[in-house]
Structure 1
Amino acid sequence: MADKADSTPTTMTKTLASRLANIVPFHVMELQKMAAALEADGKSIIHLGIGEPDFTAPPQVIEAATVAMQNGHLQYTPALGILPLRQAISDHYRDVYGVEVGAERIVITAGASGALLLACAALVEKGSEVLMPDPCYPCNRHFVAAFEGRSKCVPCGPESRFQLTDNMVKNHWGPDTKGVLLASPSNPTGTSIPPSTLSSIINTVHSKNGFVIVDEIYGGLTYTNDSPKPFTALSLSSDIIIINSFSKYFHMTGWRLGYLIIPAALLPAIEKLSQNLFICPSVIAQHAALACFQPSTLCTYSARLAELATRRAFIIPALKSLGWEIPVEPDGAFYVYCDVSRWTADADSLTREILRDVGVVVVPGMDFGVWGAKKYVRVSYAQRMEKLGEAVERLRGFFEGRRPLRGEGLVKDDVRHEGMVVEE
């Protein structure tokens, strides 16, 4: 019998689609595998890498799933999702964000990943360019590449809060550019796009007959708020696509449930794609998610947001005390994007050394693009306070006696990923 791990080329591997060359491994997952191996050998590991809350679904959500199963709600649903959940989301946007979104414009999906896949399947074609910031969530590039498009990644530094600006969109829009893919708040930086900037970007893209996709899966996880209500890009325009999920704010990561909010004109195309690609999202997860909007459950989420705010207030000064620079303090999500170039010319090597020596997982910037790839690391503070405190002390011990680098220009951003256009 052949060895299951045998990597010898076969007829099947020789016929793999060429588009796979445009999709690179997700380094945070590679670090997780390395951490798992160390844990298996008995090493204590603190995970500040993966973007997953340590909170799980509240009891009300689990109970709703149990009741759904007991009542026999186990068969296919409509491809667009069950109407009660679509209506509950619509009501939530009215009550929390102050915007009216008809339930007919809401499409329930198999996670935010399923939502992005449907959006890209509908809008991206061979040779299409999609503008996005560098750094950004790496899978965004890969969804575009999966449909033979190209991500045009525009370097975005601290001066723009690591986000695209309207001038950047105007300057980098080309003949093959079809739209923009944004995230607010962002992974990996935890920064949001100011509403005035986002409004200008939307107007510019629409003037060029392009599409705007805004990933708001960290919406609700914000810690500074200058307006009376939490913000959504839907307050600026209804002619955009919103990606959202039950994973982050609602703490249902493994349930794989998300949603799209789309212009009504796109509904036939998205429904056709959803029918063929997914049939329907998880029926159990859909019925469970109805409980997310109960008053008692919403109170639980508010308390958890306050806990995340406490962790944020601790981790930012703690990381600075290690000599890690935080050029832009995050206002959302649960990430801090740190400049560690004082200590290394290769953040990837540093993260591996930290993991091996003191058992703390942080993610190198190379996962998120080219700009700053070798000098930035992402830290997730979605861990309970005692773990965060212990991680900081381990890191402090790691850097004790370590001499900072000297000189200017020690770190060069020379990382490149296939399938992406990097604007210099």
Structure 2
Amino acid sequence: MKQGQLARRVSKIAPFQVMAVLDKAKQLQANGYDVIHLEVGEPDFVAPSAVSEAGVQAIRQAQTGYTSATGLPELKQAISRYYHSRYKVSVAPERIIVTPGASGALLLMASLMVNEGEEVIMPDPCYPCNRHFLLQAGGRAKLIETSPDNEFKIDLDGLAQYWSATTAGLWLASPANPTGAVLSRAYVEQAWQAVKDLGGHLLVDEIYQGLVYDGDDFTALSVDDNLFVINSFSKYFAMTGWRLGWIVVPEWAIEGAIKLAQNLFICAPAMSQYAALHAFDEGVLTECEARRERLNQRRLALLKGLERIGLPVVTPAQGAFYVFVDVSSVTSDAMTWCLQLLEQEYVALTPGADFGIANAHQYVRFAYTCEEERLVEAIARIERFMQS
């Protein structure tokens, strides 16, 4: 490598197209325009007060040093109890690795289970960073085109045709970003059986767990102890900037996961871990459930508004806080459409190209992460834009 030259892998990592939208939105706001942000994958709630106060107390009491690489024992025990109380699943605390956000968990997972040159199957569309974490580990993503007819889920009956000698596993998400689709228990069971028969691993990303409005809010850990699950305090608990997540690994993977956690992260932020101990307090969980209901009301309002103006929602949007919309009836280029909408009506959306390749030009993601009246106003602006 020559001086001043970046590693080749950097050129393979695509920037987020939504950043062009976000930069333009910030510029418009700085110039005094009222921008409605429906592009941000972050709830407009702050961390529950009991959690924030616990974080403040941790700093005041100098609980800011290194913790165990796998997380505070008492936090791992609290997560284990949460799985048992909410989902009736027994998860040994030793199987839980606390990480700096779910991103840390995904990076650990890629390093743990993917060899140089191997591939991981995942649906198109999906969370874009997944394929970039695989690149960092020397692997690659194999995106399988999916259809709104099947709620953007991979047809598991045909999984074997996509599998090759270099396939390491299958990564899924429920609820999913960008579609809001929720996997059924039967689907996860079928996925696990198929992957097991093919000799690979299965990861289910559950970082939006708890934010399910229609369907079964279960954990894939109830299917088998030998699959992997990732979760986070960011979404349901509204702790995005605290950077705290976790991964649950099978017993046979614990030692390897510990070695990677030690070397990749040292530990997750200590004050965030002490704060998260209170995320499972009864009052905090009650508050989180009330917020979930508010998000559901927003979801229903957005779905109603989109139907009224003739923009079809292509999946049931059962969970998370996203709606994936087909805009092919009004444009052949979703990215250009998003930029023009922002410039003319000051509504910021995420173009589908950030989430995949197949037919990405015809989709847009809406995030219902603002108050209901702002969603209603956004629909009115979009309708005006479509009529102009």
2:382 corresponds, among 377, 395, 398, to 395
- In structure 1, the partner of 2:19 is 29
8 Å Cα contact 1:131/1:169 also seen in 2 = no
The number of aligned residues is 388
How far, CA to CA, are the matches of 2:307 and 2:317 in structure 1? 14
- Aligned partner letter, 1:55: F
- TM-score, scaled relative to structure 1: 0.89
The residue number in structure 1 matching 2:62 is: 72
Correspondent of 1:288 among 259, 275, 278: 275
AA paired with 1:158? P
Partner of 1:41: 31
Give the letter for the 2:345 counterpart.
V
| Ranges in structure 1 where 5+ consecutive residues have no aligned partner | 1-9, 402-424
Alignment of 1:149-188 (within 5 A): 149-188=139-178
- Could you tell me which amino acid in structure 2 is paired with residue 13 of structure 1? G
Shift of 1:21: 1.8
Which consecutive residues of structure 2, in runs of 5 or more, have no partner in the other structure? none
Over aligned residue pairs, what C-alpha RMSD do you find? 1.3
SS of 2:259's equivalent in the other structure is helix
Determine the C-alpha separation between the residues in 1 that align with 2:260 and 2:356.
29
Match for 1:81 among 71, 79, 99? 71
Range that drifts further, 201-210 or 293-302: 201-210
Q: Which residue of 2 aligns with 1:232?
A: 219
Q: Which residue of 2 aligns with 1:119?
A: 109
Are the equivalent residues in 1 in contact too, given 2:175–2:319 (CA < 8 A)? yes
Shift of 1:13: 3.2
Are positions 1:345 and 2:326 aligned together? no
Give CA-to-partner distance per residue, 1:9-54, whole Å, 9 cap, x none: x96432x111112110012233212211121122211100011000
AA aligned to 1:241 is F
SS, match of residue 182 in structure 1: strand
The answer to whether the 8 A contact 2:180-2:315 is kept is no
3-state SS of paired residue (2:229): strand
How much does 1:238 deviate? 0.9
CA separation in 1, counterparts of 2:3 and 2:16? 23
Letter in 1 for 2:25: A
Distance 1:358 1:12, change over 3 A: farther
Deviation at 1:206, TM superposition (A): 1.1
For residues 12 and 196 of structure 1, what CA distance do their matches in structure 2 show? 53
Counterpart position of 1:410: none
Q: Which residue of 2 aligns with 1:409?
A: none
How far apart are 1:143 and its partner, in Å? 0.7
The 2-side partners of 1:58 and 1:125 are apart by: 40
String of CA shifts for 1:65-120, please: whole Å, max 9, x gaps. 11112222111000000011100000000011110001111010000000000010
Report if aligned partners of 2:70, 2:261 keep a CA contact under 8 Å in 1: yes
Task: Report the Cα distance in structure 2 between the residues aligned to 1:125 and 1:354, rounded to whole angstroms.
Answer: 43
One-letter amino acid of the structure 1 residue matched with residue 86 of structure 2: V
- Distance in structure 2 (CA, Å) of the matches to 1:46 and 1:19: 35
Match of 2:299 among 312, 318, 339: 312
Whichever residue aligns with residue 254 of structure 1, its letter is: G
TM-score normalised by L of structure 2: 0.98
CA deviation after TM superposition for structure 1 residue 321, in Å: 1.6
After the TM superposition, list the runs of 4 or more consecutive aligned residues in structure 1 that deviate by more than 2 angstroms: 10-13
Which residue type is aligned with residue 117 of structure 2?
G
Aligned amino acid, residue 19 of structure 1: R
Q: Residue 4 of structure 2: which of 3, 8, 13 is its match?
A: 13
